[in-house]
Structure 1
Amino acid sequence: MGTALGGIYLLGVLAATCDAVQFVPAKTYEDWWAYKETLHGSFVPGPPFWGLVNSAWSLCAIGKRQSPLDVNTSQMVFDPFLLPLRLSTGGKKVQLIHYNQELYPNISEASRNPNGLAVISIFANVGPSPNPFLTRLLNRETITRISYKNDAYLLHELSLEDLYPETFGFITYQGSMSTPPCYETVTWILVDRPINITSVQIHSLRLLSQNLPSQIFRSMSDNSRPLQPLLQRSLRSNRDLRRPTRRCKGANYKLHVDGARPSKTVM
């Protein structure tokens, strides 16, 4: 399994002991970074410079557990003690990043400390079949209301089950935030089967802006950090690749999505 096609990562929500939050960067010089060194004719620190322009971001340059990774199945280890995922909508919000509510009072504390954050990554397979969740999410009525960062719109009858693929398999490793300050406090969980997405849906996503309306329009594209080395980390999977034809069946071996309620979509 490689990186997500088209440079798009679709991130889901982790369940039970993690509380859903919206991560809003501080409006200071510490937010001065980009995925490209040149942005609209001006130099902005890109990934190779993140760890050099701010001492608080040093892990971006010298860290040993950085993300994202290119997952090589030959390096995976089967872990029979990994249980199937149970995902939660987190009330009425679709969220990207979760923090460990049992250990830390807020996301700021969690992001700086061990086992603080969790991110689920879903790979996208570009083809003729549309994703039902994105079809509902990216319709004309909705897309005009969530064009910019922090825009919000309440969607009824939108089920997260339509986003996730039919699988119980996943790969997990200990990694980092993929943006400055690159804290190495994230448990990454990669669902081992991609969702289907069409080129039209990708185009609709790229019509969204990463910025506020008052700022220069930046398309929701080319927004991924380069791959980082695995080094001494292990990639664990709940699927035994030595027996690829073996498939566990039944309710206990499916990816569960709890609380399918009206969702608030937040850019």
Structure 2
Amino acid sequence: APLERWYSGLHWGQQVRPGVPGRSPRGRLEVGVPRRGIQAALFPAHIGPAPDPEDWWSYKDNLQGNFVPGPPFWGLVNAAWSLCAVGKRQSPVDVELKRVLYDPFLPPLRLSTGGEKLRGTLYNTGRHVSFLPAPRPVVNVSGGPLLYSHRLSELRLLFGARDGAGSEHQINHQGFSAEVQLIHFNQELYGNFSAASRSPNGLAILSLFVNVAGSSNPFLSRLLNRDTITRISYKNDAYFLQDLSLELLFPESFGFITYQGSLSTPPCSETVTWILIDRALNITSLQMHSLRLLSQNPPSQIFQSLSGNGRPLQPLAHRALRGNRDPRHPERRCRGPNYRLHVDGAPHGR
């Protein structure tokens, strides 16, 4: 493809200084693009430090007049991100229910909190609304398709500029207003998220879809109430929260669909077991409006909404979709303990 040829000579080098972490923003861009006009078009004159190559990506190709690689370019600008362009098990995907294989032997999902309330930091990363749990208590998920216990690393919220078009995944070609992703790493095999993200059976992401309605999920209400959400209006704003009951995020009963995929952000590592909860949550239109007022920039820069922070759909190809509910009989309600979240050893119900 022409774009691939244009980028064939583009590579990154990094300055390494004593005491400076490898991910610090001190990257150095080395350009060897064959056609001189392409460099000028894609990389206008830049004053100031070069961007960190490990962090130089966006969901939009143009930010305030500067080119920043959007999803079509992720796999071209950094060799470590090549899977974003050539991977065969990429995420997100459109789930066609007729392709879901019913697996009656999938056990229920299990959440372990040690009986403690969750606490951590709500953070505007400039790309997502992110909740980073404190080191204690440790929150683990297991069961379902997972062979190992996975530790919660981050809760991430993605949403759109309009209702019905904010989730990364779709069900039968239908999107949702938002998607909550609970990102975990395999703590039984790997010591940290970074090692797990590069390794087989490394990560597990639970996704819950969100609609706009007259009521609101109780867990999301804690995150999205006016006193909280206005504390993270701009990039790098953070606010500490405590006494959160993560089990309240989940529907009282639900089924799930699982498949093998990738991170939906660079480096697009294909080490993720995705678990999609098949019953959507609700938030109010006012809460969604508050999300859309969050800026992906610091206050010193022009406002640009955080909305539209999802990767486009990727081909499912021949990957298997498995579910614990028979899609041939959608009228059947989820009944019994297999369709409830098990919290610290017991089925959860409100």
Deviations along 1:136-181, one digit per CA (max 9) or x if unpaired, are 222233224334436131233x322332222230000000000111
Structure 2 matches for 1:52-201, cutoff 5 A?
Answer: 52-88=76-112, 92-93=119-120, 94=133, 95-96=154-155, 97-147=183-233, 148-149=235-236, 151-156=238-243, 158-201=244-287
Q: What is the CA-CA distance between 1:218 and the residue it aligns to?
A: 4.6
Using the TM superposition, name which of 212-221 and 94-103 deviates more.
Answer: 212-221
Structure 2 matches for 1:4-15, cutoff 5 A?
Answer: none
Q: What is the CA-CA distance between 1:252 and the residue it aligns to?
A: 4.6
Q: Is the Cα–Cα contact under 8 Å of residues 225 and 287 in structure 2 kept in the other structure?
A: no
Deviations along 1:195-252, one digit per CA (max 9) or x if unpaired, are 0122211112223344566776553311000000001101100101233344453345
Determine the C-alpha separation between the residues in 2 that align with 1:46 and 1:72: 27
Percentage identity across paired residues of the two chains:
69
Taking structure 1 as reference, are residues 26 and 249 closer, same or farther at Cα in structure 2, changes over 3 Å only?
Answer: farther
Counterpart of 1:254 in structure 2 is 340
Q: Is the Cα–Cα contact under 8 Å of residues 257 and 278 in structure 2 kept in the other structure?
A: yes
**RMSD over aligned Cα atoms:** 2.4
Q: What is the CA-CA distance between 1:116 and the residue it aligns to?
A: 0.6
Counterpart of 1:262 in structure 2 is none
Determine the C-alpha separation between the residues in 1 that align with 2:236 and 2:329: 45
Instruction: Return 5+ residue gaps in structure 2 as ranges.
Output: 1-22, 26-51, 121-132, 134-153, 156-182, 346-350
Determine the C-alpha separation between the residues in 2 that align with 1:150 and 1:257: 32
Q: TM-score, normalised by structure 2?
A: 0.61
Q: Is the Cα–Cα contact under 8 Å of residues 110 and 342 in structure 2 kept in the other structure?
A: yes
Taking structure 1 as reference, are residues 257 and 216 closer, same or farther at Cα in structure 2, changes over 3 Å only?
Answer: farther
Determine the C-alpha separation between the residues in 1 that align with 2:298 and 2:195: 26
Q: Is the Cα–Cα contact under 8 Å of residues 60 and 66 in structure 1 kept in the other structure?
A: yes
Structure with more strand by fraction? 2
Residue 71 of structure 2 corresponds to residue 47 of structure 1: yes
Structure possessing the higher radius of gyration over alpha carbons: 2
If asked which structure has higher relative contact order (CA below 8 Å, sep 6+), I would say 1
How many pairs were matched up?
234
User: One-letter code of the match for 1:86?
Assistant: R
Q: What is the CA-CA distance between 1:129 and the residue it aligns to?
A: 2.1
Residue 245 of structure 2 corresponds to residue 221 of structure 1: no
Q: TM-score, normalised by structure 1?
A: 0.79
Determine the C-alpha separation between the residues in 2 that align with 1:103 and 1:212: 38
